[in-house]
Structure 1
Amino acid sequence: MSSEALPPVTAFGPDFPFAFDDWIRHPAGLAQMPGEALGREVAVVGGGLAGMVAAYELMKLGLKPVIYEAGRLGGRLRSEPFEGGAGLIAELGGMRFPRSGTAFYHYVDALGLETRPFPNPLAAVTPSTLIELEGEQFYVERGQTPPEALREISAAWAQALEEGADFTRLQQAIRARDVASLKAVWNRLVPLWDERTFYDFIASSRSFSRLGFRHREMFGQVGFGTGGWDSDFPNSMLEILRVAATNLDDDQHYVVGGVEQLPRGLWTKVPRRMVHWPAGTSLAALHGGATRGAVTRIGRGPGETIAITDRWGDTRPYAAALVTCQTWLLTTHLQCDESLFSHRLWMALDRTRYMQSSKTFVMVDKPFWRERDPVTGRYRLSMTLTDRITRGTYLFDHGDDKPGVICLSYSWMSDALKVLPLPVERRVELMLDALKKIYPDVDIARHIIGSPITVSWENDPHFLGAFKGALPGHYRYNHRMYGHFMQDALPPAERGIFLAGDGISWTPAWAEGAVQTALNAVWGIARHLGGHSPAANPGPGEAWGEIGPIALPD
């Protein structure tokens, strides 16, 4: 049977193979609440994707979510408009979303948002890709066979996955949603690769060992799917295996008009079916049109409540609270009572390691990269991967009648830190200078219009980093954070506060992880307040004991 005839690969597990997409589509709903719980207020700290999904689903159950947001709705789904740009935007956070993220796309489709294939390196929709490493260039146009070195790297990566991770069997189990087979493979891989790095996996594989260091270096530059992965070389190999196994780095789309439309759409969307609240109710209506402001303190309130204090000193008790901010904020920017979490969980929250990320965008008068160089015959500008400071350069074509957008640079870790203290104008100058060395006959600056846009997530006090990057040995920490929504065994002093967000998930940096952890929290909050999932539609908590993540010994 061809791969096209098989069920698709989805973000089904592998750590917790629960069908979130089926659960949220089921006509029986997610939970049934007792009458005394209806209308009770639940605090949601953070209006990013996890917070908005959870708030939307809690509202449907008849609860009253109260969202606290320090900045603007969307979190790291931030679509920044260009001034005078006729609706053109720069995606400063998440910008490419794999079709395997079926829970994420449930909400995209519910809002009627349009998506299109993302112009990744070597993707079918990308007119041309140029890879430059140590001054040597590889140029590939759409439909062309990649150079031999790139084909060797691709084959070596596939072979390494097969030999080191039983990859075909792993993906077959994901396609078939065969939980028993999936757990059999994955539970064996967890202790094998948790404490070893991505680079170790590559360097110790027979396929890459035969090719030598040059090919490993090139693999770090070219990567798989989205481009260079050498910034992730120090990460736990388990994290990379999850991405590869669930096709998170494949078949990616962008949201036309900006992905920030998703959290903002959930803010105003009126559900078709809802308990307790009158017809026409939305999150915006429940809030009187505006969220509450920044949180400064989280503590225990009267009785079993969670007390939330905002920046103006107003303290309010809630029946439960969901915290979706980056975990470092709990020990640096918020006064969070230590007694709310165990010391073991605090260790996990504080040991979370966030990766730096920087992007710099410009708007140009037209998609001039469509033009051909009369001498070389190449496109004047290509999607570019390079070892220079720009690292990844992406081209966004909005048609002949609109300006284009260039992401001059998308970089991580040390490359992002190099530009951290620099103003946007200096960043643009650096990027243009680097690209001039690759394209000496192209004057990009001549085409720039409007003001450039940049971001460094590690410099934002509400984030302190872009996304988690688990280091070797972090599986146990992730297990504690991800499983925290299962609170029956916790002492009473630690119940009622829940965690969600991509950093709590097994797949940091991917929107699907934010959605799945939000749904876990919805189940946990409903149970905390006396609710339960319908018998016809059991939730993640009911499945936890049977298919929950393997626990490694201490």
Structure 2
Amino acid sequence: MSRLTAFGPDFPFAYDDWIAHPDGLGSIPKDAYSTRVAVIGAGAAGITAAFELMKLGLHPVVYEASRFGGRLRSQAFDGADGIVAELGGMRFPRSSTAFFHYLDMMGCETRPFPNPLSIAAGSTVVDLEGETFFARHLDDLPPLYREIASAYDAALTDQAAFPDLQAAVRARDPAAIKAIWNPLVSQWDERTFYDFIAGSEAFRGQSFRHREVFGQVGFGTGGWDSDFPNSMLEILRVNLLGLDDDQHLVVGGVDQVLRRLWKAAPPCAHWPEGTSLASLNGGTTRSRVTAIQRQTDGALQVTDQWGNVASYDAVLATCQTHLLTTAIEVDEDLLAQNLWMALDRTRYMQSAKTFVMVDRPFWHDLDPATDRPVLSMTLTDRHTRGTYLFDNGPDQPAVICLSYAWMTDALKVLPLSADKRVDLALKALAKIYPGVNIASHIRGTPICVSWEADQNFLGAFKGALPGHYRYNHRIFGHFMQDRLPDSQRGLFLAGDGVSWTPAWVEGAVQTGLNAVWGIMTQFGGHSPASNPGPGDMYADWGPVVLPS
């Protein structure tokens, strides 16, 4: 069976093949060499796009408002070498082949992520309504859980032709994918994930308890109830592309991928051997962008927070879309009004994490009364929701993500200090593990994040609501600028919120590559006939158009 990759379904283009092709992504005219392009945001979309633009012979100038890495934020614990808390992206499915292209190129090491019921987790505890179950495999849980898993599989088959659709994705057959997917777009865009569950034949034969437990526990990475209000299309993409399966963590922190790309010196058109993004940018990024304006000569003027002004023929904005109307003064005429509507209607989900470093992976200790580990990966309806355990080796400090919560559960801790968040989490876990003194193992200072409280993000990631497909289509397809009026050309958008797969780094990389193609063609370049780019294939396999 062919390997499952994030191929489509809205735009089935092989980004991984495009960036790995020996003939390269394309070329630009020599008179465009060294032309400066502003890249706003040093996250996954910005850095991978800048890396490819540099290889084409352009001069990416990178701006960053806060921390290098964006939401690939690996924060080290003080006093411990290489022990990190992954505050943003922390689990990366192997189906994210464009992202893994760069990860592997940079020599980063991965290992399986300790998701519930996975071999990497070792053991899982499910605690709902005060009832606790220990499991190593799904079969160790009561029959209710297997009934839920079977019902969800049946719902996917009955309502989304899932086996045939996934077979088409595996085969990388665009025609077969579109034949099944396009009708599903109109059928499910305006219906929620919960509607899909509750209205399915499989779940209608089950009790409310089945739907409740599915929301609290789910399968793969954990509970699904925070996504119940989302458009079902969002969930179908996650399941279809294997984004919730075979997930890995990056040893030492995922931000290494971007930091190594920043310093890497690949063969480039025009630039001398040894050129890197770091060298082209004087070793550091520029500061937060506060304005993007059209000049009278047609160029785009970018202003940073210190009043420094520079002009560019192209600007790539990879920041959260809401920042284009709240934090950056953007000429309104740079984007069509219906695109501004789409950007403003983007809905970002809240997310909070609380991490502590502990002296050792003590959870491997066995409880003499039960002969089980004293602590396990834990899914619960208590406000911790998901607790994950990260083992860095028997002689190394370990890390516990005490709580990983979304939406309402994340808002419950929004105003609280890090110490208070840890205290609440420990009290919740003490009710599940009454004999375990987790606090006695904690070392150093806890690390927490609430993405909605960060002025540079205003939320963790996009979660499309019913009826948002048309908005996403406008944003995603904006890199195709050949039919736009001159006043709306030159500003490109990228990031996972621009993609069809928000919250997954693969979407950020893919949209960054779309922008690379768009910028390359704006400067008179093109992809080779042997390796057509996303814009070359967009007319054939682009997203289905829904009537307004």
**Corresponding residue number in structure 1 for 2:219:** 224
Alignment of structure 1 residues 167-178 onto 2, 5 Å: 167-178=162-173
Query: What whole-Å deviation, never above 9, does each CA across 1:283-336 have from its counterpart, x for those lacking one?
Result: 000011111111000111242211100111111110100000001111111111
Q: In structure 2, what residue type is equivalent to 1:318?
A: Y
**Corresponding residue number in structure 1 for 2:488:** 494
Q: Which of the residues 14, 19, 29 maps onto 2:14?
A: 19
| Counterpart-to-counterpart distance in 1, 2:527 and 2:280 | 24
Describe the shift of the 1:149–1:142 C-alpha distance in structure 2 as closer, same or farther (beyond 3 A): closer
Q: Which of the residues 42, 49, 65 maps onto 1:70?
A: 65
Alignment of structure 1 residues 138-157 onto 2, 5 Å: 138-141=133-136, 145-157=140-152
**Corresponding residue number in structure 1 for 2:441:** 447
**Corresponding residue number in structure 1 for 2:474:** 480
**Corresponding residue number in structure 2 for 1:406:** 400
**Corresponding residue number in structure 2 for 1:43:** 38
**Corresponding residue number in structure 2 for 1:249:** 244
**Corresponding residue number in structure 1 for 2:353:** 359
- 1:515 to 2:512 alignment: no
- 1:294 to 2:288 alignment: yes
Question: What is the number of residues matched between the two proteins?
Answer: 548
Q: Which of the residues 324, 334, 338 maps onto 2:318?
A: 324
Query: What whole-Å deviation, never above 9, does each CA across 1:500-548 have from its counterpart, x for those lacking one?
Result: 0000000000000000000000000001111111111110001000000
Indicate conservation of the 8 Å contact 2:134/2:140, yes or no.
no
| Counterpart-to-counterpart distance in 2, 1:36 and 1:179 | 37
SS in 1 for 2:408: helix
Q: Which of the residues 230, 236, 259 maps onto 2:231?
A: 236
Indicate conservation of the 8 Å contact 2:290/2:305, yes or no.
yes
**Corresponding residue number in structure 1 for 2:98:** 103
Indicate conservation of the 8 Å contact 2:492/2:515, yes or no.
yes
SS in 1 for 2:205: helix
C-alpha deviation, 1:142, in angstroms: 5.2
Indicate conservation of the 8 Å contact 1:526/1:532, yes or no.
yes
Q: In structure 2, what residue type is equivalent to 1:156?
A: A
Indicate conservation of the 8 Å contact 1:126/1:142, yes or no.
no
TM-score where L is the length of structure 2: 0.99
Alignment of structure 1 residues 153-192 onto 2, 5 Å: 153-192=148-187
Q: Which of the residues 198, 206, 213 maps onto 1:211?
A: 206
**Corresponding residue number in structure 2 for 1:3:** none
Alignment of structure 1 residues 189-200 onto 2, 5 Å: 189-200=184-195
Indicate conservation of the 8 Å contact 1:125/1:142, yes or no.
no
| Counterpart-to-counterpart distance in 1, 2:406 and 2:120 | 25
Which blocks of at least 5 consecutive residues in structure 2 are unaligned?
A: none
C-alpha deviation, 1:124, in angstroms: 2.1
| Worse-matched range after superposition: 129-138 or 140-149 | 140-149
Q: In structure 1, what residue type is equivalent to 2:526?
A: H
TM-score where L is the length of structure 1: 0.98
| Counterpart-to-counterpart distance in 2, 1:303 and 1:221 | 56
Q: Which of the residues 98, 103, 115 maps onto 1:120?
A: 115
| Counterpart-to-counterpart distance in 2, 1:487 and 1:208 | 45
C-alpha deviation, 1:72, in angstroms: 1.9
SS in 2 for 1:358: strand
Query: What whole-Å deviation, never above 9, does each CA across 1:337-376 have from its counterpart, x for those lacking one?
Result: 1110000000000000000000000011111111111122
Indicate conservation of the 8 Å contact 2:118/2:136, yes or no.
no
Question: Pairwise CA RMSD of aligned residues?
Answer: 0.9
Q: In structure 2, what residue type is equivalent to 1:408?
A: L
Indicate conservation of the 8 Å contact 2:36/2:313, yes or no.
yes
| Counterpart-to-counterpart distance in 2, 1:195 and 1:144 | 36
**Corresponding residue number in structure 1 for 2:417:** 423
Indicate conservation of the 8 Å contact 2:126/2:378, yes or no.
yes
Query: Kindly, what percent of the aligned residue pairs are identical?
Result: 65
Query: What whole-Å deviation, never above 9, does each CA across 1:153-176 have from its counterpart, x for those lacking one?
Result: 111110000001000000000010
**Corresponding residue number in structure 1 for 2:125:** 130
C-alpha deviation, 1:378, in angstroms: 2.3
Q: In structure 2, what residue type is equivalent to 1:60?
A: K
Indicate conservation of the 8 Å contact 1:54/1:522, yes or no.
yes
Query: What whole-Å deviation, never above 9, does each CA across 1:31-84 have from its counterpart, x for those lacking one?
Result: 110111111000000111100000000000000000011112100000000011
Q: In structure 1, what residue type is equivalent to 2:350?
A: Q
Query: What whole-Å deviation, never above 9, does each CA across 1:401-426 have from its counterpart, x for those lacking one?
Result: 01111000000101111101101000
Describe the shift of the 1:476–1:412 C-alpha distance in structure 2 as closer, same or farther (beyond 3 A): same
SS in 1 for 2:4: coil
C-alpha deviation, 1:143, in angstroms: 8.5
| Worse-matched range after superposition: 357-366 or 373-382 | 373-382
Q: In structure 1, what residue type is equivalent to 2:157?
A: E
Q: In structure 2, what residue type is equivalent to 1:464?
A: L
| Counterpart-to-counterpart distance in 2, 1:527 and 1:302 | 23
Which blocks of at least 5 consecutive residues in structure 1 are unaligned?
A: 1-5
Describe the shift of the 1:158–1:144 C-alpha distance in structure 2 as closer, same or farther (beyond 3 A): closer
